[in-house]
Amino acid sequence: MGEFRVLLINCNTMLDTLVTAGIGILSACLKRAEVDVKLFDTTFYRTAERTGDEARACALQVKKTDFADLGIVPEEGDVVEDFVKLVETYRPHLIGLSAIEVTYPLGVRLLEAVRPLGIPTIVGGPYATFAPDIVIREESVDMVCVGEGEDALVEVCSRLREGREPTDVGNVWAKRGGKLYKNPVRPPIDLTTLPHQDWTVYDPRRFWKPMGGRISVTGTFEMNRGCPYTCTFCINSGFDRIYGAHGGYYREQDIDRLVDEMAEKKEQYQLAYVYLVAESFLTTTRSRIEHFGKLYGERVGLPFWVEARPESITPDKVELLKEIGCEGISVGLESGNAELRRTRLGRDIEDKTIIRAFELLRESGIRVSANNIIGFPFETREMIFETIELNRTIQANGVMVSYFSPYKGCTLREVCEVEGYIKDADIAMDYRLGPSMDMPQMSAAALAGLHRAFPLYVKFPKEEWPEIRKCEAFTPEGDAAFRDYSERYVKQFMS
């Protein structure tokens, strides 16, 4: 068999530099199967008016950082033209697009631009997994991967290299001869069988990531895959449904194997910071956390960031986090309305549990941010102010507030479609940049105004709320009020 070449497309949001574990693992799996791999990465192209980090800085959620200080600025070239040039010179035997819902339209533009070359294409990622019927209708798409892609992509390459049709590959929908072949989802992959990520496909600029107001060389490592919970606003609820017949989607990586990879990458890439992919880091056994802490401290010892659920935060686990170098933790508060959490969001957590979790973390000295979401279906202005009140009680270091984006795969997407807030083929917005829906009880404009003023309501005295409300209006007066408050906010709470 001769050389087989695959061109992977990382269709990424602009200047979101954190490396994705998924692409690195895919590349490593392909290379292990003796496939040549190149990556076309959209990260450094000007594909939006502003980046997610810029939007969050403007909304007073993170400290401002500037990639230009490191010489990192968006490319001047046209993303489609540059992609076509690479395809023409590399001449891949297969093009694989990995896209989330937000970047899917750009990914299709890229595939359409090279369709005349007749190269087979396969699309994977969350949007392809949860909207395969929409994706497979694209003229420029030959195959769709539903679910995990590591084994499926290697098998597709093997079939094509041998001159056989990939019409019966598990996880793959394939169009051939006017027919559509829909193959069932195969069992979840044993994470211990996967090779270490291949980071050689990435531009070195991808490792610079803003965290806590600093830009550091950061590595991403998959500690868990999936989530032990099934919150309705998260696509993990969709993954759990897809893999339900196989016992669910959630798995944990072997700690020894994980730390081996971390230590290897630390030396190879001079890492200064670690981003751990674990939807709920502390939702596991104490012995697992202790084992991780011991090995991590001995062999890696870098500051790291994790996510956690409030009910998983206990005094002993917080002490462990502090001992092993946890620098930052994000905790999902989501909504301050207990009834909404319980009946709509799949989060049956009492306020007192949330408050206690933040008390423990505040005492630890670890940098803590509260993750909030606004704009849920049926959520009212009054409910959002309950979220604000709960944030005032917990007083986290950072106040993160995202728009609810009804991405394909999350259970609430189906509710939004039934209610007519969004259509089946509509693409939901980036959760950092703007609202996706107009709803009877909450217009997109009203939600955007509340999003802008949210941190101000949390941090400033209630006597100032009438003045802060002016910041919700996108008018000259409202913009001026927001500028004034922003200056005060940065000085008082982000210095």
Residue 8 has, within 13 A of its CA and on its CB side, a CA count of: 29
CA–CA separation, 46 vs 23, rounded Å? 21
Mean pLDDT of the chain: 94
What mean pLDDT comes out for the span 403-408? 97
- Amino acid letter, residue 197: Q
CA–CA separation, 381 vs 450, rounded Å? 8
CA–CA separation, 51 vs 65, rounded Å? 12
End-to-end CA distance of the chain, in Å? 60
CA–CA separation, 232 vs 244, rounded Å? 16
pLDDT tens-digit map of 89-110: 999 999 999 999 999 999 999 9
Number of Cβ within a 10 Å radius of residue 189: 18
Lowest mean pLDDT among 17-31, 154-168, 271-285, 462-476: 271-285
CA–CA separation, 154 vs 165, rounded Å? 14
Nearest to 392 by CA among 337, 355, 345: 355
What mean pLDDT comes out for the span 347-373? 93
Strands 214-222 and 208-211: what pairing?
antiparallel
What mean pLDDT comes out for the span 315-323? 90
pLDDT band at 314 (very low <50, low <70, confident <90, very high): very high
- Say whether pLDDT at 29 is over 50: yes
| The pLDDT value given to residue 166 | 95
User: Phi-psi region for residue 349, left (φ > 0), alpha (ψ -120 to 50) or beta?
Assistant: beta
Strands 172-176 and 143-145: what pairing?
antiparallel
| The pLDDT value given to residue 226 | 92
pLDDT tens-digit map of 324-347: 889 889 999 999 999 999 999 999
Burial class (CB in 10 A: 0-12, 13-18, 19+), 243: buried
| The pLDDT value given to residue 75 | 83
* Radius of gyration for the alpha carbons in the chain, expressed in angstroms and rounded: 23
Check whether domain 5-182 has CATH 3.40.50.280, yes or no? yes
Backbone phi and psi for residue 266, each to the nearest 5 degrees, phi listed first: -60, -45
| The pLDDT value given to residue 2 | 61
Query: Hey, what are 439's tokens?
Result: 């709803």
| The pLDDT value given to residue 76 | 83
Most confident segment among 17-21, 312-316, 440-444: 440-444
pLDDT tens-digit map of 174-196: 999 899 999 999 999 999 999 99
| The pLDDT value given to residue 440 | 96
Strands 214-222 and 273-277: what pairing?
parallel
State CA 100 to chain mean position distance. 9
CB 195 within 8 A of CB 29: yes
- Write down the CATH number for the domain with range 223-459: 3.20.20.70
| The pLDDT value given to residue 1 | 46
What lies within 8 Å, CB to CB, of 13 at 6+ separation is: 43, 47, 48, 51, 52, 100, 102, 103, 430
| The pLDDT value given to residue 71 | 80
pLDDT tens-digit map of 426-454: 999 999 999 999 999 999 999 999 999 99
Nearest to 325 by CA among 348, 305, 351, 343: 305
Domains of the chain by residue range: 5-182, 223-459
pLDDT tens-digit map of 193-203: 999 999 999 99
- Say whether pLDDT at 402 is over 50: yes
Lowest mean pLDDT among 72-81, 133-142, 238-247, 253-262: 72-81
What mean pLDDT comes out for the span 59-76? 84
What mean pLDDT comes out for the span 257-277? 96
